[in-house]
Amino acid sequence: MDKEELKKRIFELVEKSVGKKKLKSSDIQKIISADTGVARDYVKSALRNLVDDGTLIYTYFGGSFVEIPSKE
């Protein structure tokens, strides 16, 4: 699986969880790795790229969570 498709799957997972459950980085790695068979380190790298691009952000509420930034 190429990195762009992996990044798309990560974003869709975070997008589906909005308003339901806050996902941690480890949750995302575990879910995506189980669904696709891709190594967790590769998922972590793709997640890092999404955060660096500003597509996703880390927030802190008693723990670090990955979320979509607000449109403001």
Domain segments of the chain as ranges: 3-67
Nearest 5°: phi and psi at 60?
-130, 115
What are the helix (H) ranges across the chain? Answer: 3-17, 25-36, 40-53
In the numeric block, the tokens 């952000």 are attached to 57
pLDDT score at 20: 94
pLDDT digits 0-9 by tens, 15-51: 999 999 999 999 999 999 999 999 999 999 999 999 9
Q: CATH fold of 3-67, please?
A: Arc Repressor Mutant, subunit A (1.10.10)
In this prediction, residues 44-68 reach a mean pLDDT of: 95
